[in-house]
Structure 1
Amino acid sequence: MRKHFSDALLIGGYELVNRTKVERQLELIKEYLDFLQELQSLTEGEFTGSKRDFHSAERCLQLAIECLINIGNHIISDKGLRAPKDYADIFKVLAENSILLTEDGLTLKQMVQFRNRLVHVYWDIEPKVLWQIIQEELGGIERCARNLAKYAQNH
């Protein structure tokens, strides 16, 4: 059985200021990504033709990104790192401090920018764009979550 990234915090290690909160955020990311991965089996036409799938995907992607933001902020606060200028800057701060790889920081920065569109320009999200993100970017989100979980466990 494959271990999931949320398992990393459940087996000892460094005690974060609020370990329970980080564990819960990781569990939620897993839940949201599992749902989004189910949608990967849909064709573009099936996905874009279903308002229920589209709106469910919007919300799950937004919430997965929110969880990553929360975990990133928690690590920054716990380590006393510089305050990020905005949500996208959280992952730059983590990359600057070798907590995330630069590539992961860029992936999450792009996801935060898309999250901002989901939150602030929600009426203008193209179903095709969301379908492409679901097809191409979920692995990057999962990798980043796994790396944040490993960091939190080991420090």
Structure 2
Amino acid sequence: MVDEEIVVTKLRHINEYTNDLREMQGLPKKEYKSDVIIQRAVERTCMNLVQACIDIAKHIRAAEDLSQSGTSKQNIEALGNAGIISRETQKRLAEAVGFRNILAHRYGDVDHDIVYDVLHNDLRWFEQYQQELAQWFQQQ
């Protein structure tokens, strides 16, 4: 059974991280790329945001017995396969897991142009994920 407190807390975290990132939008790319403190703040908040998405997916997957334990991407995919989130949201969040891995493990150099683009163009997918999960949860 899905634990309401866990779901609500994780949805709140997703909302908070998304709002924090929205506050960092609008900074000119040149200024963003020259400010290592802002870069680190954006990267860390992105990592926390994606991790909150993974955590809630893992909890729902386990509680609903959707599939056996797997990777972070597989936890997201399990929600899409069960119709809890849309296929497009599933795809975007699975990509976000890869993005989080690059940021967290520093596979090569982080491309600040890509991070800047994610900040300005991809937050809607996290909001969509949050909305779809909230809608599913309310129907339970």
TM-score, L = length of structure 1? 0.84
Is the CA contact 1:58–1:118 (under 8 Å) kept in the aligned structure 2? Answer: yes
Is 1:21 aligned to 2:6, yes or no? Answer: yes
User: Unmatched 5+ residue regions in structure 2?
Assistant: none
Is the CA contact 2:57–2:76 (under 8 Å) kept in the aligned structure 1? Answer: yes
What is the aligned partner in structure 2 of residue 103 from structure 1? 88
Is the CA contact 2:2–2:64 (under 8 Å) kept in the aligned structure 1? Answer: no
Residue identity (%): 25
Is 1:126 aligned to 2:111, yes or no? Answer: yes
Shift in Å, 1:57: 0.4
2:46 to 42, 61, 71: 61
Large movers: runs of 4+ above 4 Å: none
Is 1:92 aligned to 2:77, yes or no? Answer: yes
CA RMSD of aligned residues (A): 1.4
Is the CA contact 1:75–1:152 (under 8 Å) kept in the aligned structure 2? Answer: no
Shift in Å, 1:129: 1.1
Aligned residues, how many?
Answer: 140
User: Unmatched 5+ residue regions in structure 1?
Assistant: 1-15
Aligned residue for 2:53, secondary structure, equals helix
Is 1:44 aligned to 2:12, yes or no? Answer: no
C-alpha distance in 1, partners of 2:72/2:26?
31
Q: Larger relative CO (CA 8 A, sep 6+): 1 or 2?
A: 1
Distance 1:66-1:107 versus aligned 2 partners, 3 A rule: same
Aligned residue for 1:124, secondary structure, equals coil
Deviation sequence 1:36-56 (CA, Å, 0-9, x none): 111211111121111111000
What is the aligned partner in structure 2 of residue 152 from structure 1? 137
Aligned residue for 1:82, secondary structure, equals coil
Shift in Å, 1:84: 4.5
Is the CA contact 2:80–2:86 (under 8 Å) kept in the aligned structure 1? Answer: yes
